[in-house]
Structure 1
Amino acid sequence: MKPHFEVADVLNRHLDQIEQLCANSWQARTLYALAACRTARLGGHVDRCDNPNCQALHMSYNSCRNRHCPKCQGHKREEWIRKREADLLNTPYFHVVFTLPQQLNGLALCKPEMLYALLFQTANSIIQSFAANHKFLGARTGMVAILHTWGQNLSLHPHLHCIVPGGGITTAGKWKQVQRNGKYLFPVKAMSKVFRARMMAALRKETHLQQSLARKLVQTPWVVYCKQPFAGPQQVIEYMGRYTHKVAISNHRIRTVDLNSMSFTAKDYRKGGQKHVISLSHQEFIRRLSLHILPKGFVRIRHYGILASSLKQKVRELVEQQIGKATIKERPPLKHRVCYTCSKGQLVTLITFDARGPPPLDLLAYLTQI
């Protein structure tokens, strides 16, 4: 169902203010792309259904294909899920979340690339260190890490979602499962302390950490959260799909867009996920949205350890010989350009046009006859 309001509705009302509301030109460029998505400004194309019983013509405007756009993620997410299904191991998986304290938000605004890269590196080092410890596992494991920078109210809230297999490869090349029959990963309190220590050490090495900030960081509890293992590999894929190509706010969350303000729904996790409505001025909404535009070229989904691209195929073959292959429900073929009229045929592009506009009516009439 198409949402009543979109992020672009707010952006298009204030195109002349976007540069003033953003911290840099890359953020402004991204917001301009989101505002122009699927409008005449990006040009478009005329398609025809290849179903002989339909052959309907459809005119569509081009998408911006920006990874921050709420309208351009559905197909990318489905493609990513299908590629990852082949990499799943027949073992329980855990969801671990590493959250940076709010005292580092200032650094996230000034040096986001440095801070987020350290977050990835530190989280991976902690998972690998605890896995290598014979007290917990005594093997090399891996993880898929996905960076999110937002809270439900669009405030800056950098955290890393990590999907970790419940086992690893020993030095002897054997698969070893985590304790309690795969129902327990690592102690989160110990992980939290190590997370704080290693992250602060990395920050001191990379940047000048003020003494007052360092004291606050030491006194602040650093949150590491580990959820119960998933029911099976299929559930892992579905769960990961919700996080991989998620953006700061979806269009379906926007309730109203008025002349000077807008509102959207948000969950309050301190009250059991209870929903409430947040109202903001257009300018404040744009400012908050710009906080979550990642630096140019920054990779927000990363694979580590035995799940890294250089190892995953060899590891999967080795593990499947020992514990079997993961059972995945077969999915129907992914159809991206299905005809909106008959829902059977595929759309074939006949002609493209630029921002000057669609082809004249006489050309469209000609296309219906050929």
Structure 2
Amino acid sequence: MSLLKEAFERFAPDYLERYGQSMLPSHRRCLTDILSCQTAALDGSLHVCQSCGHEHYTFHSCGNRSCIKCHHLRTEKWLDKQQENILPTQHFHCIFTLPSELRLIVRSHQKEAYKILMTSAFDALQILANDPKHLGGKIGAIAVLHTWSRAMINHPHVHMMIPAGAYNKDYDTWIRGREKFLVPIDALKSIFRAIFMKRMRKALPKQIFPQVIWKKDWSIHINSFDSKIENLLNYLGRYVYRIAITENRVLAVSESTVTINNNGVALHLRGEEFIRRYLQHV
């Protein structure tokens, strides 16, 4: 048995018993699906080899996108589909991260906030890309939302893969961008912050936002990607159907704790806290 599966089998039943009545339905379903996945609880199928007649019985998978077993196949299918959308040009890897002061607000309004985060990031890029000084046309992007840090705490940010170029509608032509420069980063930060906050205030008119966010330097990173574009796509693909922690980062499971690798440092979490952090990203 893997350590990740052991952690869930050891601590999830008690978590459900203690908090089940107050949990979100999606969280409760996630834990029950993980515990029943590929077990007799979901029945199974009998497979017969057409050559030798050997019979093999397998239990059904739960199919939950947050399951510790079921996300691999979906990721592979997503990667295959995205290969069709890749342009034969250099790309940039962009990361938009929200200030820590907004995390609780975003966490409490995920449906509205995550959509606003992703659209605001792209629209801010598009505003600058429209300027002939930079690109002068319409850009494309593959964007992936990522909600956790290595310690599984709430840390919403967006990864984007941007082609180094743009389509100019007026001249019906592709404009090739510069190899090491996409758009000015300081201007992008200001535009992104303004768009995001305007849309959040419209979506949540009664919400009070901390004033300090206007004084902070919002985190945006843009890096040219010189390696094979498939490597960047594979990197993004790990987050599309990825769960908050993978098997290789679980170091140990004891009677009361789960130890995980947090950027090279062993982080010891009580079993209940491990489950709680995992469910934040379901």
TM-score normalised according to structure 1 size: 0.70
Q: Which amino acid aligns with 1:197?
A: A
Partner residue in 2 for 1:189: 186
Distance 1:88 1:37, change over 3 A: same
CA displacement, residues 291-350 of structure 1 (integer Å, 9 cap, x when unaligned)? 111xxxxxxxxxxxxxxxxxxxxxxxxxxxxxxxxxxxxxxxxxxxxxxxxxxxxxxxxx
Distance 1:177 1:21, change over 3 A: farther
Deviation at 1:55, TM superposition (A): 4.2
Partner residue in 2 for 1:176: 175
Deviation at 1:231, TM superposition (A): 2.5
Give the alignment partner of residue 145 of structure 1, picking from 143, 151, 159: 143
**Residue 283 (str. 1) matches residue 272 (str. 2):** yes
Distance 1:262 1:38, change over 3 A: same
Give secondary structure in 2 for the equivalent of 1:15: helix
**Residue 227 (str. 1) matches residue 223 (str. 2):** yes
Give the alignment partner of residue 239 of structure 2, picking from 243, 246, 253: 243
Paired-residue identity, %: 28
Deviation at 1:122, TM superposition (A): 0.3
Q: Which amino acid aligns with 1:199?
A: F
TM-score normalised according to structure 2 size: 0.91
Give the alignment partner of residue 253 of structure 1, picking from 225, 246, 249: 249
**Residue 8 (str. 1) matches residue 8 (str. 2):** yes
Distance 1:134 1:61, change over 3 A: same
CA displacement, residues 66-119 of structure 1 (integer Å, 9 cap, x when unaligned)? 111121111111122122212211111111111111111221232111110110
Deviation at 1:63, TM superposition (A): 1.0
Q: Output the CA distance in 2 between the equivalents of 1:72 and 1:278.
A: 26
**Residue 266 (str. 1) matches residue 262 (str. 2):** yes
Q: Which has the larger radius of gyration?
A: 1
Does the 8 Å contact 2:225/2:232 carry over to 1? no
Distance 1:216 1:236, change over 3 A: same
CA displacement, residues 240-287 of structure 1 (integer Å, 9 cap, x when unaligned)? 3333222211133222222222111121xxxxxxx1111111111111
Q: Output the CA distance in 1 between the equivalents of 2:53 and 2:8.
A: 32
Number of residue pairs the alignment of both structures matches: 279
Partner residue in 2 for 1:132: 130
Partner residue in 1 for 2:165: 167
Deviation at 1:141, TM superposition (A): 0.7
- Give the number of the structure with larger relative contact order, counting CA–CA contacts within 8 Å between residues 6 or more apart: 1
Gaps of 5+ in 1: 268-274, 294-370
Q: Output the CA distance in 2 between the equivalents of 1:56 and 1:137.
A: 61
Q: Output the CA distance in 1 between the equivalents of 2:250 and 2:154.
A: 19
Q: Output the CA distance in 1 between the equivalents of 2:53 and 2:15.
A: 40
Distance 1:115 1:60, change over 3 A: same
Q: Which amino acid aligns with 1:35?
A: L
Gaps of 5+ in 2: none
Deviation at 1:220, TM superposition (A): 2.2
